[in-house]
Amino acid sequence: MTDHSALLRPAAAEFLRVAAAAKPFTAPTPCAGFDVRGLLNHLLYWGPWLVAAGRRETYTATGTEAALFGEDWLATLGKQTEDLVDAFAPAAAWTAWRRSARPRCPRPSSATWCSASS
């Protein structure tokens, strides 16, 4: 398996740069049904699930996806992104299947998206 860990930090930095510049928050995105605020909120909600998957842990959300975008969204997204980089740096994070409290997800390198029916 190819080691992609060296790409994670530069990709994370670019992701945060783009996220910080994404304004106005009411602007549409290529993701149907999401404006910038909605997409950032979506990332803030689902990020911890992905971190847990990379760490081979179970995650249970404590709230809903409805209102995670707040004044400190960029700091929260930055911490979450750092956690993602740390979780997916080890090669073991890129192999096998992971079962979480929600969908059953294939290894992250798969082109198959997680769904409740997986």
Q: pTM, whole model, 2 decimals? A: 0.75
Summarize the confidence of residues 32-60 as an average pLDDT. Answer: 91
For residue 78, the one-letter residue type is: G
Question: In this predicted model, which residue has the larger pLDDT, 62 or 88?
Answer: 88
In the numeric block, the tokens 């910080």 are attached to 20
Helix (H) or strand (E) holding 78: helix 73-88
Nearest partner of 50 among 96, 12, 1, 107, judged by Cα: 107
Lowest mean pLDDT among 63-67, 100-104, 111-115: 111-115
Strand ranges in the chain using DSSP code E only, listed in sequence order: 98-99, 104-105
Give the SS3 label for residue 28.
strand
How open is the CA angle 73-78-80, to the nearest 5 degrees?
A: 95
pLDDT in tens, 15-25: 999 999 999 99
Separation of alpha carbons 18 and 39, rounded Å: 13
Quote the DSSP letter at residue 3.
-
